[in-house]
Chains A and B, each alone.
Chain A
Amino acid sequence: MNAPDLNTAQRAETGKHTGKAMRRMEDMRFLTGRGRYVDDITLPRQLYAHFIRSPHAHARILKINTEAALAVSGVKGVYSAEDLHGTRDVPPNWVLPGSQVKGRPALAREIVRHVGECVAVVLAESPEAAADAGALVDVAYDPLPTVFSASDALKENAHKVHGDLPGNIATTFKTGNGGYEEALEKAGREIAFSLRNQRLVPFPIEGRAVNADFDPATERLTFYTAHQIPHMLRRMLAGALGFPEHKLRVISPDVGGGFGPKMHFYPEELTLARLSCLLKRPVKWTERRSENVAATTHGRDHEMEVRVAVQNDGKVLGLKLDSKANVGAYLSSMGTGVPTINVALFALGVYAIPHSDVTITCAYTNTTPVDAYRGAGRPEAAYMIERVMDRVALELGLDPAETRKRNFVQPDQMPYAQPTGTTLDTGEYAMTLDLALKNAGYEGLRKEQEEARKKGRYLGIGFSNYTETCGMGNGYLLQFVGFDRGGYESAVVRVHPDGRATVLSGSHSHGQGHVTTFAQIAADELGIAPEQIEVLQGDTDMIPFGIGTFNSRSVPVGGSAVKVAAGRVAAKMRRIAAHLLQCEPEKVLVEDGIFKAADGNGTVTVERVAHAAWTGHDMPYEMGIGLEETEFFHPQSMSSPYGAHIALVEVDPETGEVELKRYIAVDDCGVIINPLLARGQVHGGLAQGIGQALYEDAGFDAQGRPALEPSIPRFDMLPRFETDHTVTPTPTNPLGAKGLGEAGAIGAPPAIVNAAIDALWSLGVRALDMPLTPERVLTSIRNAANKETEV
């Protein structure tokens, strides 16, 4: 059969600039060491903060002795909870209805509930003085009993993380259409197992950083912070401080990676804003790595029990999921939403499974709060359902690709409402899987595996056909699930009198390259070059409003806002040009900044049009003044990117080492604006997903202290990735783009673990948890061998 080149055949139509691998316009400053991150900003009369943090996972604070610290030269003061009167706790922003809410105190009151919790803060004239004095603050604690895992916290008689909250339950969420028992009766076979998404430390290379600057002259607070969502932070900070929102300006300059944790509101931010207002001086804090691993939110930490009812032909008729999520000691911004909605809704993946029954319980523990981290709930769901599919195939002796095809939702069923509550907008899952099989050379791989096995080598092939949804949808739906945000994004497009343009966007790049992609989008609408367009973000005084960068939403929602606003400006430019050219607006063509009538002679330049727009010269009065449009693009629903990933591993049963030999990813994120940047996003996500599968773990010790040096993948720990795309445009936005930033992190863990289990299946290995460290793999092999000898 002559397979078409799907990649090209399926590529949706793009414009003169969109769809092109344009190099990034923002690169220059980073390449020459001129990026501007929060820690690079030092203000006149700057004070520096050093936080005193709990070394205990749970303890009563008996006394804070500050005498010696106050004697250090250059120290301005040492502050604890009682100095912050009038300051509320840091509240969560996504609260599933029925949740028991415990927000994070700005500074601990009486009790500390996780290692790294802020107890006090030293302010001084230099960072050195602040740190020196910090070492001298003497806090006396009375340690209390601790609980670290969700399953322990949910046991009867578990000690209470919050004294007034019996059972430690933050929330319980149920979804699905039920009927599992009937499905099981009909299917005749059940497969059940447990799995675990370990806790991860997100680890952007730049930690968090804040510079809070209250100006008594204007009574304005300017708040520099390394943040993904400046406007949301402004709203929450204003609320917790009791500060007028219109006088609070949040500036997020260059941000050194985010991955989720920089989208939340933190105790340090609230404390420093309050102290700057009190002292009327700028206060700066740059997180140290030791603080980052303990006090910045973690990701995942979800234990699952899954049962599926399956027929002998591999068709899954029912799924029952019972899971426990650890939310940490307090609810961070998206505390109860991520582990419930973002997991449960996607529990059925890309499969038409008639019956489902999902229960997720969120528990408080004495650990760092858990919140969104690249993928945010969807990796947990994909890990489960994709492990299920390979497991079904292995148990029944079927091919895992074929098993999936028997269960896929079909293209003619789209849009498909999953009984768990999500809607899949588009997807041609078999087509995408076929391209992955082709790129992998699947038949050859299976032969290679067979040959290797004869020589005593253990190769394994694993699959993952993840899906997710991106963008955030209609505000009404967000309200329904307790998410106190909008689902839109803003853009202002302004063409200046010289014909150049500014785009203001409410989303905020922390490495994604919006300066380039958004300029490409605007350029196609306006008919000028991307280099003539500047994209500005990250300053609440400049941008009308923004929902920000997370949920892979910047291109589908933020980019759509740019497209719509630029389209309206372009229409006005055409009307003006038509007037100047004496023709109908529909007849006006524009390219490279030159307007001309389709059938007439003569041209006008964009400068001429813009000049007319901003002066009113040569224009009828009714044309109105200006070339500027604001769009709040508000999608009705979310898009559903998906992909087919294949991992090839070799496991050494003697040493337990897992070598990732190949990784083949075919992602479908709809229309691609910039294939080079898209590939960068896929690579980055894969690195984190592979990190989760093979290496990473927050690594708490017996005292509840996270590892100082979590195993973040280095150059020599990752393979070369083989990436590709299919393109099924989404109807949920005018770009047809679905979102891509989290795909790799969602797709990779199940593909790799499936591959390792495939390699070791003949040795009897059934259970294997991430990360696949040699010790863990060896233990699984040994346990499997012991079981066999027992039989």
Chain B
Amino acid sequence: MKSELDIMLTVDGAEERTTVEPRMLLIQALREKLGVKGPHIGCESGRCGACTVLVNGEAVKSCMMLAAQADGAKITTAAGLAAEDGTLHPLQQAFHEHHALQCGYCTPGMLCAAMDLLKTNPKPNENDVRQALRGNLCRCTGYQHIVDAVLSAAGTLGSGASAVKGAAE
């Protein structure tokens, strides 16, 4: 009855084939069909950005795209950002250094959104970051450490913007 579609995705470098219902969202295909659990669901209505992945290099909220629309695409999630030997991407490393994550639920989507920002605007200022990432909600960090992480990955963090007073580094 329901017509299933065959699709092919390259997820973090690995070719994956699966069948999906036409109505299935990309986030559902990734999580339920392919077991790719990095991108999360926070709203399913395009509001929170927890599901953000890179589709052919561009940040996409994967709850706002049908799986079938992504057929043939190259998908990158947070799991695909590090180098093959496991060395973190400079952006991931900056998130770590600046304590830009607490519960970590928004983090995979946040990283993908920030990757896209740095591709289109490699030298952003604080306002650029706050505008570019406004589609990604974080309820834990208050955003400042994320802003600092992105700026530092871009090399545009003013010296000592968020140094911790009295703390040995």
Report which A residues bind B (CB closer than 8 A).
7-8, 11, 19-21, 23-24, 26-37, 39-40, 127-128, 203-207, 254-259, 286, 288-289, 510-513, 675-677, 679-680, 683-688, 709, 712-716, 718, 720-721, 724-725, 744
Contact = CB atoms under 8 A, between A and B. Distances in A.
A709 B42 CA distance: 12
9 contacts: A33-B79, A39-B31, A39-B40, A206-B40, A254-B105, A677-B99, A679-B145, A684-B142, A687-B142
Interface string B156-169: 00000010111111
B15 interface: no
A524 to B, nearest CB: 14
B165 A724 contact: yes
Nearest to A259: B139
Interface of B (DSSP majority class)? loop
A724 B45 CA distance: 38
Nearest to A687: B142
A676 B167 contact: yes
Nearest to A128: B21
Given A30-B108, A34-B38, A714-B137, 19 more contacts: A21-B164, A21-B169, A27-B104, A31-B92, A31-B96, A32-B81, A33-B77, A33-B108, A37-B105, A254-B103, A257-B102, A680-B102, A683-B142, A683-B143, A688-B139, A714-B135, A715-B129, A721-B142, A725-B165
B43 interface: yes
A716 B50 contact: no
A24 B96 contact: yes
Contacts of A255: 103
Interface in B76-98: 77-79, 81-82, 88, 92, 95-97
Interface string B53-71: 0000000000000000000
Given A27-B96, A33-B37, A687-B142, A715 B101 contact: no
A205 B139 contact: yes
B32 A35 contact: no
A715 B147 CA distance: 9
A665 to B, nearest CB: 11
Interface residues of B, number: 62
A289 B166 contact: no
B140 A257 contact: yes
A19 B32 CA distance: 43
Nearest to B143: A715
A256 B99 contact: no
Contact of A288 (B44, B88, B104, B130): B44
Contacts of B47: 289, 709
A11 B165 CA distance: 11
B17 interface: no
B165 to A, nearest CB: 5
B137 A32 contact: no
A515 to B, nearest CB: 12
A513 to B, nearest CB: 7
B101 A27 contact: yes
Given A7-B166, A675-B167, A712-B137, A30 B142 contact: no
A725 B165 CA distance: 9
A23 B103 contact: no
B153 interface: no
Given A20-B167, A33-B39, A709-B47, A721 B105 contact: no
A203 B97 contact: no
Nearest to A717: B134
Nearest 5 pairs of A and B residues by beta carbon: A33-B38, A30-B104, A256-B105, A511-B103, A511-B102
Contacts of A713: 143
B120 interface: no
A8 B168 CA distance: 12
Contacts of B32: 127
B9 interface: no
B154 interface: no
B26 interface: no
B115 interface: no
Nearest to B53: A33
Nearest to B148: A720
B103 A687 contact: no
A679 B166 CA distance: 12
A29 B79 CA distance: 9
A684 B106 CA distance: 14
A679 B108 CA distance: 22
A607 B138 CA distance: 43
Contact of A684 (B41, B43, B141): B141
A256 B101 contact: no
A712 B169 CA distance: 33
A19 B167 CA distance: 7
Nearest to A709: B47
Contacts of B97: 23
B136 interface: yes
Contacts of B142: 683-687, 718, 721, 744
A30 B139 contact: no
Contacts of A203: 139
Nearest to A202: B139
A684 B137 CA distance: 12
A23 B96 contact: yes
Contacts of B136: 715
A686 B145 CA distance: 13
A676 B137 contact: no
Contacts of B141: 680, 683-684, 687
A712 B139 CA distance: 8
Nearest to B23: A128
B3 interface: no
Contacts of A716: 130-131, 134
Contacts of B140: 205, 257, 511, 680, 684
Nearest to B146: A715
Contacts of B138: 205
A37 B40 contact: yes
Interface in B2-51: 21, 31-32, 36-45, 47-48, 50
B152 interface: no
A104 B54 CA distance: 43
Query: Max chain B CB contacts within 10 Å: which of A512, A684, A687, A721?
Result: A684
Contacts of A259: 139
Nearest to B165: A7
B130 A715 contact: yes
A686 B134 CA distance: 18
B50 to A, nearest CB: 6
Contacts of A254: 103-105
Contacts of B162: 679
A110 B44 CA distance: 32
Contacts of A7: 165-166
Nearest to A510: B103
B96 A683 contact: no
A718 B143 contact: yes
Given A31-B96, A687-B143, A206 B167 contact: no
- By CB atoms of chain B within 10 A, which of A30, A204, A744 has the most? A30
B107 A30 contact: yes
